[in-house]
Structure 1
Amino acid sequence: MAALLVRGGLWRPRGGGLVLLSKSLLTRPVVACTTTLDRPTLAHQIHISPRSYVLKDVLPSPQQELVTFSNRKGLQCISPLMRSVEETPQPILTKVKGHIPKWLNGSLLRNGPGKFEFGEEKFNHWFDGMALLHQFQLENGIVTYRSKFLQSDSYVTNSRHNRIVVSEFGTLAMPDPCKSIFGRFISWFEMPRPTDNSSVNYVVYKGDYYVSTETNFMRKVDPETLETKEKVDWSKFVVVNGATAHPHYEPDGTAYNMGNSYGKHGSSYNIIRIPPQKSNRDDTLQGAKVLCSIAPAEKMKPSYYHSFGMSENYVVFAEQPIKINLCRVITSKFLGKPIADGINWEPQYKTRFHVVNKHTGELLPGQFYSRPFATFHHINAFEDQGCVVLDLCCQDDGGSLQTYQLQNLRKAGEGLDQIYNSIARAFPRRFVLPLNVDSSVPVGQNLSPLSYTSASAVKEVDGTVWCMHENLHSEDLEEVGGMEFPQINYSRCNGRKYRFFYGCGFRHLVGDSLIKMDTETKKMKIWQEDGFYPSEPVFVPVPKATAEDSGVILSVVVTPSQNQNTFLLVLDAETFSELGRAEVPVQMPYGFHGIFVPR
């Protein structure tokens, strides 16, 4: 088969997609085997004082250079991936091409927005769309698909009135025109009620499945039928005003999450522990408790966060300079603004790492700082030689939340290119946080004893620790748009030392490739097919596997083309070659997150 030369390297057709060959191979004969990217990474260390961002008497290292924005042109219009679709409530048979392993029995559950207007009123932000639940059921090599809209109060109420009645992240609902003039006036002074439009992820508590967003409401769902069950309010069990859609789990089912609380004295970050067992049949979050509360740097401007890290013994929280201005949020409705208007990137603040003992709830006294970055998804965290090693996807500019307006995502031509090029690329980075920092440690000393990473943690005069990251990639990752939606072999590796992680490359506003990254060699393998956009990869291990990457990667691949089919992709996680795909004759929007439920 012929190879294809495109920006960033040489691509070879492979299993229906493309495998990226190293740019160093351009002068060699093209061979038929899959080749991985391999470029040694420079590991120079540069110390930057937390009080000054000026480098003196040192040359900039490629390892620490800010790689932020792109300059791409000619992006494909993906507007159809952000349009409303109809649900498919009854299972339909897919067309399987290739081979679906017969041991792969269970359901891939996906979540994301699927309806973007009611009547003449339209949502403004991608995150506002009504939750559409997807299910790919796999059994003995046969795959069926179904989808249902979550019957949330938001969806039902909006449908009944044929207008947007419940405010969402980026859309403020207008007062009911049927109210009296006085009633409409008073409604402007009321806080918008939190939405239960749980469109972000599936989560599991005490063996039950829920869909979640980041408000205080979740919805229990039946993973077999996708039927919507009861609404569960976090604030009835613990004093929080919401929780993330990315909890962590212990092998026994104990879950940990984080949520903010807001009161007359400001705000706090709270680490929550949920027990693994039910006390009775109707139990939901009973027994959940706040393990630790952390004060923000500014009480009225807490950080926004989407996820957190967890090792065997510690929870790690990155307090980043994406700030929630509580005064603006409280007055947003009166000012005619959505809640999103109160969240902004403020890079004058540094990023701070908080480390909490998850068994005792003790907040460690160490003060760890780094230069400002934004993160949405953690990769993993583990402990080694008295340190917590934290891996996460980082952006050097955190303004992307505001950029994902639907009007931007639906642009074409130069307008679309400009939007893409205005968003900072995300890259995987490693930080090292030493657990024991005492007064006897000399100022200016790197406290990391780990020989396998160039990440440093240097003690400052004031006793704080300044952390510099290691890039978990070679510069070739820049050519595929960085990486987001990271996943690992969770059941085996979460909280433990690991080698591989998987994610989406972002040469577009949504993922346009799948990537396997090796943390030791920084080699990567890529799957890509022109005109198709894969979702977050989900790792499913082979039964009784011995190798970390023995399993498959599942990803729902969508396309804006009306003449091509969406499909469920199955990759061999070790070789990253395609095993098979299950084509679905219905259009799907691009979604967010999901899980695999084994049968």
Structure 2
Amino acid sequence: MADFSGLFRSTEEQATPLQANVKGLIPQWLNGDFVRLGPGKFDLSKIKVKHWFDGLAVVYKFQIVDGKVSFQKRFLKSDAFNKASEHGQIVYTEFGTKALPVPGKNILAKFIESLNPELTDNTHLNLFKLEDSLFVASETHFLRRVDVRNLETLDKIDLLESTGVHLSSSHFTTDRKGDSYTIGTSLPVGKYHVIKVPKCETGMAEDALKKMSVIATISPGWGESICFYHSFGMSENYIVLIEQPFIYNMLKLLSVHVKKRCLRECLNWCPERTNRFFVIHKGTGDVIPVNFRSREPFFLLHHINCYEEDNQLVVDIVKHKEVEVLDNLYLENLRKSEFDIKNPAVGCRFVLPLPQKNQVFPMDVNLINISKTATAMKEKDTILLSPELLSEPGYELPVINREDSGIKYRFYYSTGMFDPGQFRNSLVKVDTRTGCVDTWKESESIFPGEPQFVQSPNPLAEDDGILLSCVTDLRANMQDFLLILDARTMTEIARAEVDCHVPNVIHGLFIPKI
């Protein structure tokens, strides 16, 4: 198995745009910025961070203009980055790395800080466009605005001030009406909140954020024990929050700074519990009063898509059997090319029956009829769900044609990255209708990142478009590149090579030039 340790080296800035060497022919209509975000700096002067998710954020872009491509890369100048650079160590608590005290502070200052610690603004997990602005996010209550023109870091937005949440999903999802949503959690009395940012007539993010509001508040299914979540599902009319048995110990979480813990030490995997599906109506904020639960526990990071059909709600996700994926992302292991996953992630489909007015579901019969193998059966006061598997396992970071977000769709795309399974080093296309899987793979030393689908101007089919993926080539004297595939055939159209490190990050977004 090829060495992949080079995927986890610290990167460096490329503030001046660097021209790429284009091989092949880029479609004339493909113009815009492919922006990517993720952990990029792991080695500080005094310490190395412990977990991949602890790396300080880097944001980069491939800009495509009239068949030419340039590359630019900058560190996100967050408070976390600036203080870490100044002191040579992590100052804010991260997922797997404990915060260290800032040298020179007196005992009183340290004590006051421990009573009211500030969460990290190392917003390195996802990025999204809201009205006229680009934002980056993590799982805390901070967002950062980034200037897409030059990747400079702009102002910090605090969701705690506007919505009262301390933790939030790093995924903001925009529906077909232009309204955006996310999920947040308030402390110390744990509650989940659905947050809405309505589409703004001015087209300005500043005005849209002023109208941000909580439209639903949900009590956890386990008393005040809140769960970890990274994303959520959204159909045309519903938000889906899957409460999973990866649970914060509230006492540990609230004392994380005093006891010098990292966030991972505050989380417990509880496989004796199963996942609950909360379904919230987007228009009213009402939670459907049905106890939907999975038959078996599972862990998830990413939803694929959600849609409604025949009074049933389809929820497609990438499912992990448990949390081993997170515990395999410590740098000590990754830098030795160790990624020991016993149960690779797999795409699967849950289907939930949507109750009609005064409807009483019968017992012990399958309540759904639009899936090959998924089931939903009422037992006592609970509807127990079993999924349909959509393919063989071994991939993550799923994306779809954004034009089909929230509605019935057919295809999704993902990457095998460094997973030891059959899709390692591959980009993957899954046909949810037939179960067929197509892949692109070039070498065991080439690692494509999360793909992005860009629809053709006059599409004839759902998959009529381009797949973009940033590829890290670990072979000696070889260049990293932007890969451009025909999404219909999964064949290469062009690539843009750069004499610069293109880091292995997490999520991306294509912003078309209008």
- Alignment TM class, shorter chain as reference: over 0.9
C-alpha distance 321-307 of structure 1, shift in aligned 2 (>3 A): same
C-alpha distance 402-278 of structure 1, shift in aligned 2 (>3 A): farther
Residue 298 of structure 1, aligned match among 218, 222, 230: 222
Within 5 Å, give how 1:93-492 maps onto structure 2.
Answer: 93-181=19-107, 183-184=109-110, 186=111, 189-263=114-188, 266-277=189-200, 282-283=206-207, 285-370=209-294, 371-412=296-337, 416=338, 419-422=339-342, 424-436=343-355, 440-450=360-370, 452-460=371-379, 462-473=380-391, 477-478=392-393, 482-491=394-403
Amino acid at match of 1:176: V
Distance 1:326 1:356 in 2: 25
Distance 2:231 2:103 in 1: 39
**Percent of matched pairs sharing the same residue:** 38
Deviation at 1:188, TM superposition (A): 7.9
Aligned to 2:419: 508
Contact 2:302–2:317 (Cα < 8 Å) also in 1: yes
1:29-83: per-residue Cα shift (whole Å, max 9, x none)?
Answer: xxxxxxxxxxxxxxxxxxxxxxxxxxxxxxxxxxxxxxxxxxxxxx322222111
1:556-598: per-residue Cα shift (whole Å, max 9, x none)?
Answer: 0113334211110000000111101101111232100010000
Aligned to 1:598: 512
Distance 2:268 2:178 in 1: 35
Contact 1:77–1:410 (Cα < 8 Å) also in 2: no
Distance 1:421 1:595 in 2: 28
Superposition RMSD on alpha carbons, in Å?
1.9
Distance 1:187 1:573 in 2: 55
Contact 1:98–1:580 (Cα < 8 Å) also in 2: yes
Amino acid at match of 1:136: F
Distance 1:138 1:319 in 2: 40
Contact 2:228–2:244 (Cα < 8 Å) also in 1: yes
Contact 1:432–1:457 (Cα < 8 Å) also in 2: yes
Aligned to 1:56: none
Contact 2:221–2:276 (Cα < 8 Å) also in 1: no
Deviation at 1:396, TM superposition (A): 1.0
Distance 2:505 2:361 in 1: 48
Distance 1:284 1:262 in 2: 25
Amino acid at match of 2:432: T
Distance 2:363 2:417 in 1: 40
Contact 1:504–1:536 (Cα < 8 Å) also in 2: yes
Deviation at 1:328, TM superposition (A): 1.4
1:233-288: per-residue Cα shift (whole Å, max 9, x none)?
Answer: 0112112113212121123321011111113xx20111111011166784351111
State the secondary structure of the residue aligned to 1:304: coil
1:526-569: per-residue Cα shift (whole Å, max 9, x none)?
Answer: 01122111111100000121310000000001133342111100
> Which consecutive residues of structure 2, in runs of 5 or more, have no partner in the other structure?
none
Amino acid at match of 2:135: Y
Distance 2:487 2:314 in 1: 24
State the secondary structure of the residue aligned to 2:166: coil
> Which consecutive residues of structure 1, in runs of 5 or more, have no partner in the other structure?
1-74
Within 5 Å, give how 1:63-82 maps onto structure 2.
Answer: 75-82=1-8
Q: Does 1:528 align with 2:453?
A: no
Contact 2:470–2:502 (Cα < 8 Å) also in 1: no
Deviation at 1:403, TM superposition (A): 2.5
Deviation at 1:132, TM superposition (A): 0.7
Distance 1:299 1:366 in 2: 17
Q: Which moves more between the two structures, 504-513 or 336-345?
A: 504-513
Deviation at 1:408, TM superposition (A): 1.3
Deviation at 1:390, TM superposition (A): 0.7
1:382-436: per-residue Cα shift (whole Å, max 9, x none)?
Answer: 1011110111000111232233111111114xxx2xx4235x3110111110011
Aligned to 1:17: none
1:161-209: per-residue Cα shift (whole Å, max 9, x none)?
Answer: 333323322111221232235555x268435421111111211223321
State the secondary structure of the residue aligned to 2:164: coil
Q: Which moves more between the two structures, 531-540 or 207-216?
A: 207-216
State the secondary structure of the residue aligned to 1:283: helix
Distance 1:284 1:130 in 2: 28
Amino acid at match of 2:282: K
Distance 1:563 1:253 in 2: 45
Aligned to 1:32: none
C-alpha distance 145-517 of structure 1, shift in aligned 2 (>3 A): same
The TM-score, its normalising length taken from structure 2, stands at 0.94
Distance 1:113 1:362 in 2: 37
State the secondary structure of the residue aligned to 1:237: helix
State the secondary structure of the residue aligned to 1:408: helix
C-alpha distance 507-128 of structure 1, shift in aligned 2 (>3 A): closer
Contact 2:199–2:208 (Cα < 8 Å) also in 1: no
Aligned to 1:27: none
Contact 1:206–1:284 (Cα < 8 Å) also in 2: yes
Amino acid at match of 2:180: A
Distance 1:430 1:537 in 2: 21
Higher Cα radius of gyration: 1
C-alpha distance 524-164 of structure 1, shift in aligned 2 (>3 A): same
State the secondary structure of the residue aligned to 2:7: helix
Aligned to 1:571: 485
Distance 1:375 1:342 in 2: 18
C-alpha distance 78-281 of structure 1, shift in aligned 2 (>3 A): closer
Aligned to 1:29: none
Distance 2:364 2:205 in 1: 57
Distance 2:11 2:362 in 1: 61
Contact 1:434–1:447 (Cα < 8 Å) also in 2: yes
Contact 1:81–1:559 (Cα < 8 Å) also in 2: no
Contact 1:203–1:245 (Cα < 8 Å) also in 2: no
Amino acid at match of 1:227: E
Distance 1:575 1:198 in 2: 35
C-alpha distance 382-136 of structure 1, shift in aligned 2 (>3 A): same
Distance 1:565 1:322 in 2: 40
Q: Which moves more between the two structures, 159-168 or 126-135?
A: 159-168
Distance 1:301 1:439 in 2: 31
Distance 2:113 2:144 in 1: 28
Q: Which moves more between the two structures, 172-181 or 110-119?
A: 172-181
Where relative contact order (Cα < 8 A, 6+ residues apart) is larger, the structure is 1
The TM-score, its normalising length taken from structure 1, stands at 0.81
Distance 2:24 2:172 in 1: 35
Deviation at 1:467, TM superposition (A): 0.8
